[in-house]
Amino acid sequence: MNEPGEDRAGDPRIRAYLEHLTRERAASGHTVAGYRRDLSRLRAHVQRGDGAVDWSRVTVHDVRALLAARHRAGASGPSLQRLLSAIRGFFNYLIREGVAGSNPAQGVRAPRSHRPLPEVLEAEQVARLVELPGQDLLQVRDRAIMELFYSSGLRLAELTDLDVTGLDLADATVRVTGKGRKMRTVPVGRKAREALEAWLARRGEWASPQEPALFVSRRGRRLSPRAVQRRLAHHAKARGLDRHVHPHLLRHTFASHILESSQDLRAVQELLGHSDIGTTQIYTHLDYQHLARVYDGAHPRARRRPKGG
């Protein structure tokens, strides 16, 4: 028997919708894979004994029953929200194609869940991480990568997809392609510019003149996301940081530090490339935590309790 997330037999409607997401909506591979698993669960839930599915007959009760079953199985709040998003998007597509007459997930809500705050590095930890000693070409490249992550708040895919032509050091900017193939231009700080200039001066030792990628491996090929993750983890351990350091941690740190200094949520939204400011607002909670720590450490009556109290 197939696992719900596999759907080896496939469903032509699901397959067509996932192709629509990829080609027309420019959804990431991660999103498409998640939606495939969720819609395969829905298919397994509503199919008849012979394996057939009549999508026009799926009801709100079917959707609620599937949510309840996933909740009992231990699915988290975000997983249930994604399941609902997948079903809503799928049925909107089926309505457009004339296959379904209504969306059975339209009025359904997933249980609320606590959204964990992202971790961030302190400024001293960032400095310890990015200020790599030595002029070995591997160190020069990795220093440029980490400085650019922290300077410009890039996503991992944005950095590895970056070409040399996307970088304008004279203007101190970098042009990246974010989610949904949306282009944005973000500033590059002084330290990052210096690190990138050092890397570009020697990049030709590994890269051929025809290679467009900004960051390449020792074989001269575009650096993979997995390789970047490994290098960050390696340097964090070598520099004595007692935590797992990954690209998104540097993005979170960038956002938190910018917001802490500027208090400009809209600007941070633009820098990060968030389509919804609600996604950016989580960093306001991080900023409040920082202020609370400062208050506790500085206010003479913040923690002090009367004797015998």
Could you give the residue numbers annotated as active site?
155, 179, 248, 251, 274, 283
CA–CA separation, 244 vs 91, rounded Å?
40
Could you tell me where the beta strands, DSSP code E, fall in the chain?
A: 167-168, 173-177, 183-187
Within 10 angstroms of residue 41's Cβ, the number of other Cβ atoms is: 21
Helix then strand then coil, in percent of the chain rounded to 5, is 55, 5, 40
Strand order in the sheet with 173-177: 167-168, 173-177, 183-187
Contact of 179 with 272, CB cutoff 8 Å: no
Residues 167, 174 contacting (CB under 8 angstroms): yes
Name the burial class of residue 105, with classes exposed (0-12), middle (13-18) and buried (19+) by CB atoms within 10 angstroms of its CB.
buried
Asked if 176 and 162 count as a contact pair (C-beta separation under 8 A), the reply is yes
Which pair of tokens denotes residue 12? 């032509």
Please classify residue 60 by burial: count the beta carbons closer than 10 Å to its beta carbon, then call 0-12 exposed, 13-18 middle and 19+ buried: middle
**Eight-state DSSP code of residue 164:** G
Residue 184, beta-bridge partner list: 176
Distance between CA atoms of residues 301 and 67, nearest Å: 48
CA distance 32 to 23: 11
Placement of tokens 């890269």 in the chain: 207
Length of the chain: 309
